[in-house]
């Protein structure tokens, strides 16, 4: 288990304390924690929000072996934890609740604010393990689990399919799509059509570092060549081990025909 990834979505007024300008992602290993809130000289936080309605120490995220926990330090505000891929599924963490276990693999934590939109952060959970579907019997200690446990209904899997699409359709070495090309390819999707470049990069990070464990550096670091290497690494693993196959292309939006040129 490699811990969790906390990501601040595009448009959020929060930022990771101590990170480089524009840093939006924080990684937490098993047993580690990240505090969030408005902060103060005597109230250090790892994720800082500026809104006056957010408590100095609003909450705390703790990574465990196979899930994560949320503590709500607010005395007055409850927090919502949404499953963006669960058809409206959510849970509410009441004020002063300590260590609420969060079962979702991908979550959005929503905090009330004084401005029009709430503050939020996204959390990618520790890798969820699944039994091998062909070997579900036997003692618990000897059961076989899948090497790569991916949820085919998740947004990160859709991003992976979009990255693999050119090779699966052409059956020849081709350039791996760029992040903007993935954004454009998914634009017509009924659920994930609004994914931004920042969100796509975060999903690629999660695939490479947590799901497929390629060992590459984060997408947002070390320049264009490194970002290209990250995308190529996840595609190579997905295709080599048959994680993404031709039938998965049906998950992508239907391509629209290009308009005919005038006079044709």
Least confident of 91-95, 101-105, 117-121, 201-205: 117-121
Tell me the domain boundaries of the chain. 4-124, 155-251
Could you read off the pLDDT of 110-136 as tens digits, one per residue? 998 887 677 889 998 876 666 665 555
Which residue, 193, 229, 205, 211, is CA-closest to 24? 205
CA 182 to CA 159: how far, in whole Å? 7
Q: What is the mean pLDDT of residues 225-247?
A: 86
Could you read off the pLDDT of 19-56 as tens digits, one per residue? 544 567 888 888 899 999 999 999 999 999 988 889 99
- 219: confidence class by pLDDT, cuts 50, 70, 90: very low
Q: Are 78 and 93 in contact (CB under 8 A)?
A: yes
Least confident of 37-51, 127-141, 207-221, 223-237: 127-141
The CATH classification of domain 4-124, taken from the options 1.25.40.10, 2.60.120.650, 2.60.200.20, 2.30.40.10:
2.60.200.20
Please give the pLDDT value at position 113: 85
Classify residue 70 as exposed, middle or buried by CB count within 10 Å of its CB (0-12, 13-18, 19+).
Answer: buried
Q: Are 117 and 128 in contact (CB under 8 A)?
A: no
Which residue, 188, 224, 185, 182, is CA-closest to 207? 182
Please give the pLDDT value at position 146: 60
Q: Does residue 61 have a pLDDT over 50?
A: yes
Please give the pLDDT value at position 182: 96
- 220: confidence class by pLDDT, cuts 50, 70, 90: very low
Q: What is the mean pLDDT of residues 205-219?
A: 74
- 253: confidence class by pLDDT, cuts 50, 70, 90: very high
Higher pLDDT, 129 or 5: 5
Least confident of 16-25, 84-93, 150-159: 16-25
Which residue, 157, 164, 65, 54, is CA-closest to 109? 54
């Amino acid at each position: 288990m490699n811990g969790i990834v906390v990501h601040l979505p595009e448009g959020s007024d929060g930022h990771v304390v101590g990170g480089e300008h524009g840093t939006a992602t924080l990684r937490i290993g098993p047993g580690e924690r990240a505090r969030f809130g408005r902060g103060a000289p005597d109230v250090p936080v790892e994720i800082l929000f500026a809104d006056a309605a957010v408590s100095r120490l609003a909450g705390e995220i703790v990574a465990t072996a196979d899930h994560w926990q949320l503590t709500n330090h607010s005395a007055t505000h409850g927090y919502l934890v949404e499953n963006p891929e669960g058809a409206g599924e959510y849970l509410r963490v009441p004020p002063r609740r300590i260590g609420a276990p969060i079962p979702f693999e991908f979550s959005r934590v929503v905090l009330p604010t004084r401005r029009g939109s709430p503050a939020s952060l996204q959390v990618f959970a520790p890798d969820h393990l699944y039994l091998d579907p062909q070997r579900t019997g036997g003692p618990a200690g000897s059961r076989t689990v899948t090497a790569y446990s991916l949820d085919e209904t998740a947004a990160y899997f859709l991003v992976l399919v979009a990255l693999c699409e050119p090779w699966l359709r052409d059956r020849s070495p081709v350039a791996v799509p760029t992040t903007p090309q993935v954004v454009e390819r998914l634009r017509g999707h009924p659920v994930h059509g609004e994914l931004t470049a920042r969100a796509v990069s975060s999903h690629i990070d999660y695939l490479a570092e947590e799901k497929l464990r390629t060992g590459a550096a984060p997408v947002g670091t070390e320049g264009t060549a490194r970002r290209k290497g990250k995308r190529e690494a996840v595609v190579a693993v997905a295709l080599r081990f048959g994680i993404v196959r031709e039938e998965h292309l049906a998950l992508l939006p239907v391509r629209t025909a290009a308009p005919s040129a005038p006079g044709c």
